[in-house]
Amino acid sequence: MRILHVHETNVDGFTEDVPTALWFTYRYVYSPAAKVAIQRIRLNQNIKLQQIAHLTNHIFTQGYLPAPYRPLVYWETQCGVRLAEDTNITETLAHGFGVTEGKAIKLVVGELRRAFFFTAT
């Protein structure tokens, strides 16, 4: 699958790739054999997606998961590091998380959130 990037020129005249989508998958704690679904959210729509919390809210607002699951979800990278709700999405993408289908971040469903997190800075 080909990933398209928007090219932006910064003040110095250099061109950098800016991802136009965020990729994520679901991981169900109590059903590890569940089929994995990978979703893509386009970042160039009129959706406020500045922090991971905005992404979580978008998923529940769109009905991708039932509302009672909201306190039972948290995000983690493909290597298992938890992402705080206030983690900046742009910085998350800059660290390489969620930029492609193969590097999708995970929405873990079915476990109460714990207090230790990684914030991409």
Per-domain residue ranges for the chain?
19-109
Is there a contact between 22 and 40 (Cβ–Cβ < 8 Å)? yes
CA 36 to chain centre: 15
56: helix, strand or coil: helix
Measuring CA to CA, which residue among 79, 74, 77, 83 is closest to residue 110?
74
Among the CATH numbers 3.40.50.150, 3.10.20.90, 2.60.120.260, 3.40.50.720, which is that of 19-109?
A: 3.10.20.90
71: helix, strand or coil: helix
* pLDDT tens digit at each of 121 positions of the chain: 333 333 333 444 444 567 889 999 998 888 777 777 899 999 877 888 899 999 999 999 999 999 999 999 999 999 999 999 999 999 999 999 999 999 999 999 986 555 444 555 5
pLDDT recorded at residue 105? 97
Question: What pTM was computed for the model?
Answer: 0.74
